Amino acid sequence: PAAARVVIDDADAGVIAAIPKRKKWAIVGFCSSTMGEAPWENPEWTICGMNQLYRMMPRADLWFEMHPDPTVDEVPGTDYRGWLQRSPIPIMMQRTHADIATSVRFPIKSAIEWLGRDYFQSTMAYMIVYAAMQGAEEIGLWGIDLVMGTEYEYQRPNCEYILGVCEARGIRITIPSDIAILK
């Protein structure tokens, strides 16, 4: 019941609209230590998921699959492409896909302009900038840790840079106290 109705206004231009429009955006990743703390039941939040996290999330309003080939990292035994094809919510992608009805081309030129540079090292970077471009007044991160010394190490400076730009523009950043980001 907390889910928004998100409609695609222009898939090729990357334009969507949430009804009702929400000013709080939750960016949710795979890190199990804080993923469960996301505001799943709070209707004030637009919930954004990524990649194959669909198998673990109780709710999502918008999805992000930014890999050039959406099934490159498909978990064995799953039908990720089938889920993308059946998804009732918009899926932000590098381009629209004819066989994925709710695919929406991520507006990369607008995102680079908003950020002031072409600096996107992860799906979460796209997610944060998109939320800001949609008028988010608060962006929260759950399930995203980016611990140094892991495969995500190169993504952390990018994420922290973008969060800093958001804060400088007056967007409130909410993160659990026990994650590594911004420490």
List the one residue out of 157, 162, 102 whose CA is nearest residue 136: 162
Q: What are phi and psi of 121, to 5 degrees?
A: -110, 0
Here the tokens at position 136 are: 């988010």
For residue 164, the surrounding DSSP H or E stretch is helix 155-168
- In the predicted model, what is the mean pLDDT of residues 144-153? 70
Interval 51-89: pLDDT, tens = 888 888 999 999 999 998 887 777 888 889 999 999 999
How many angstroms separate the CA atoms of 78 and 57, rounded?
A: 15
CA distances from 65 to 43, 91, 93, 149, 177 (A): 24, 7, 5, 25, 27
Average pLDDT, the chain: 90
pLDDT in the model for residue 151 = 61
How many angstroms separate the CA atoms of 90 and 144, rounded?
A: 22
pLDDT at 147 over 70: no
pLDDT in the model for residue 107 = 97
| pTM for the structure as a whole | 0.92
If phi > 0 it is left, if psi is from -120 to 50 it is alpha, else beta; for residue 19 that is beta
pLDDT at 150 over 70: no
Residue type, 91: I
For residue 86, the surrounding DSSP H or E stretch is helix 80-86
